[in-house]
Structure 1
């Protein structure tokens, strides 16, 4: 099974959205997304949103 890297997912999400963010805004959003992805990955609930659901 492939190991999912929350950091790469967060960066890819921001890259695909191409939002104009200041460095501070980018960092805050990046950390928030990493936490969201980590929680989704670690969740054992079948109804939990997966990190790939957010990207695609």
Structure 2
């Protein structure tokens, strides 16, 4: 994979759904929530039984 390749949103979603295990998808979702939507600056802990 090229270091500077730009991906579309659809390409990213396909990579996530085809290449990532379910637990890793939940971890990614949790991190994205904290980065982009959580305005309180408090991290939301993810339960281990996803």
TM-score using structure 2 length? 0.38
Larger helix fraction of residues: 1
TM-score using structure 1 length? 0.34
